[in-house]
Structure 1
Amino acid sequence: MTTTSSVVKPVSQMQLAPGSVVTIPNVSWQEFELILHELGEHRAARIAYSQNTLEIMVPLPEHERPKDIISDIIKILLKRTGRRYEPFGSTTFKQESVAGVEPDACFYIQNYQRMIGRRRLEPGDPPPDLAIEIDVTSKTTLDAYKDIGFPEIWIYDSGRLRIYLLSNGEYTESNASLTFPQLPLNQFISTTAERAWQVGSVQALEEFEEAIATYQVNS
């Protein structure tokens, strides 16, 4: 359930159950930074900030398995294509005074060497090449991602994968991925994510690897 509120007490004192989404309007950049500091780094909640509006989301347990499965699929495909990467999980990415967002998972691929050893992001660091969002109780808005400049976003919702590519400052839904352009990703990911509920993650991923063995996977 989504609720709209104003900042009337420390956000860390808000009791948010799994599946909750709270939208807080009229939040300045300074207030956003203070809220991030207050919430700390070790928390279940995810945040998105754009156009002076802050969203705080607490994932449900059913949110985690698709996130892990899709992340593992990406790692398998990158290994098959001989590409190295740096995973940055749900790191907070910010465009100063404009936007902030925490993807469910994300990967540096083109700039992976630059990000090796990074414990904290530095000014001028590029956004990741690929971000993942799992929609269960709330729907991902792309404003913050657009402001920061993520090239590619995958949104998994109710068994369906939607791919968004950034072009000329706007996102367009695409049938193909920039990262893996030759694969029917929606078919593979939907099947593997559902199989994980039925047979477990390890077997589902083994079946995925068998399924892609017949595909010519190039970088």
Structure 2
Amino acid sequence: MLGVPELWRYTRRGLQINLLQEGKYVESNMSPNFPNIPIIELVNEYVDRTQREGRSQAIRAFKLWVKENLRREYPPLLRSCTLALKRNYVPAI
């Protein structure tokens, strides 16, 4: 066991978040690190868009979503997620 409090995995089903609770990982539908963000839906949507529309289109759409919804609350989120998309992180399916 890794022992980290929150573990993200991307599988064929999409993003899966697991939280460490009483020594075991339990699947969760949200991230305590991003409590007011539908992170699973966002990751799944923008990974899919990257594959369908290309990286540039997906990055532009993601930046717009962050600007309209989160820019003031989570400024580092825009930078880190944009870097992941630019590095062409597309999970093996």
Name the TM tier (shorter chain): 0.5 to 0.7
SS in 1 for 2:10: strand
2:7 touches 2:17 (CA, 8 Å); kept in 1?
yes
Question: Quick one: distance in 1 between partners of 2:16 and 2:67?
Answer: 24
Residues 204 and 165 from structure 1, CA distance in 2 versus in 1: closer, same or farther, beyond 3 angstroms?
same
1:159 touches 1:194 (CA, 8 Å); kept in 2?
no
The TM-score normalised by the length of structure 1 is: 0.30
Deviation of the 1:159 alpha carbon: 4.7
Matched letter for residue 186 of structure 1: I
Deviation of the 1:199 alpha carbon: 2.1
CA deviation string 1:142-177 (max 9, x = no partner): xx32xxx11111111125211111122111111111
Corresponding position of 1:161:
15
SS in 2 for 1:214: helix
Corresponding position of 2:58:
204
Question: Quick one: distance in 2 between partners of 1:192 and 1:214?
Answer: 16
Matched letter for residue 152 of structure 1: E
Corresponding position of 1:195:
49
Question: Quick one: distance in 2 between partners of 1:202 and 1:213?
Answer: 16
What's the RMSD between the two structures over aligned residues?
1.9
CA deviation string 1:25-47 (max 9, x = no partner): xxxxxxxxxxxxxxxxxxxxxxx
Pairing 1:9-20 to 2, within 5 Å after superposition: none
**Gapped runs of 5+ residues in structure 2?**
75-93
Corresponding position of 2:86:
none
Runs of 4+ that moved beyond 6 A: none
Structure number with larger C-alpha Rg:
1
Q: Which has the higher contact order (CA 8 A, sep 6+)?
A: 2
Corresponding position of 1:152:
6
Pairing 1:1-219 to 2, within 5 Å after superposition: 144-145=1-2, 149-216=3-70, 218=73
Across the two proteins, how many residue pairs are aligned to each other? Answer: 73
Deviation of the 1:206 alpha carbon: 1.7
**Gapped runs of 5+ residues in structure 1?**
1-143
Deviation of the 1:201 alpha carbon: 1.6
Corresponding position of 1:123:
none
Q: Taking every aligned residue pair, what percent have the same amino acid on both sides?
A: 32
Question: Quick one: distance in 2 between partners of 1:201 and 1:212?
Answer: 16
SS in 2 for 1:181: coil
Deviation of the 1:216 alpha carbon: 4.0
